[in-house]
Structure 1
Amino acid sequence: MNSDTLGGGGRDLGGSIKEGAGAATGNESLRAEGVTDQLSGQVQKGYGVARDSVAPLASKAKQFARDRPYAAAALAGVVGLAILNTLRGR
């Protein structure tokens, strides 16, 4: 877990409370703000989960580049050419 995952969960919970309070009091503005906060919290939480899942892959890529610098450079070149050709429409 990282700060984005925790912060998103907190924002989502706060939005749920705001939405409930707005619905209970009939305040549509507060209810809409709560729904917005929930959506924002869910997006932030999703970003945090994605960041946590990519971190091990990035670590392995860095280790590969340290262990085999020439192979890593060749791989980067091949991937770069593939992207370039894809963008050019070949």
Structure 2
Amino acid sequence: MNTDTLTGSATNIGGQVKEGLGSALGDTSMQAEGKGDQLSGTAQKTLGEAKDAVRPMIDSARQFVQDRPFAAAALGGVLGLALINTLRGK
């Protein structure tokens, strides 16, 4: 769990509280702000979860490059050529 996940959860909860207060007080602008905060918090939490999911793949790739530098260079070259050919339409 990283700071984006925690901050997103906190923002989401704060938005729920703000929306509830706005509803209780009849303040539609506070309700709207609460819904906006919830949306923002959910997006930030999702970003944090995505970072947590991608981190092991990045670490694995980093380890591959350190263990096999020549194979990594060859793989990078092949991928580069494939990308260039794809962009050129071949």
Aligned to 1:50: 50
Gapped regions of structure 2 (runs ≥ 5)? none
The offset of 1:74, in angstroms, is 1.2
Aligned to 1:41: 41
How many Å separate the matches in 2 of 1:5 and 1:32? 23
Gapped regions of structure 1 (runs ≥ 5)? none
How many Å separate the matches in 1 of 2:22 and 2:88? 52
Q: How does 1:9-48 map to 2 (within 5 A)?
A: 9-48=9-48
The offset of 1:69, in angstroms, is 0.5
How many Å separate the matches in 1 of 2:87 and 2:19? 45
How many Å separate the matches in 1 of 2:18 and 2:62? 44
How many Å separate the matches in 1 of 2:58 and 2:81? 21
The structure-2 alpha-carbon separation of the partners of 1:28 and 1:52, relative to structure 1 and needing over 3 Å to count, comes to same
Q: Report the TM-score when normalising by structure 1.
A: 0.92
Q: Report the TM-score when normalising by structure 2.
A: 0.92
What do the CA deviations read for 1:39-84 (whole angstroms, capped 9, x no partner)? 1000100010011111111111001001110111111122222223
What do the CA deviations read for 1:8-66 (whole angstroms, capped 9, x no partner)? 00000000001111111111111111011001000100010011111111111001001
1:66 aligns with 2:66: yes
The worse-fitting range, judged by mean Cα deviation, of 69-78 and 42-51 is 69-78
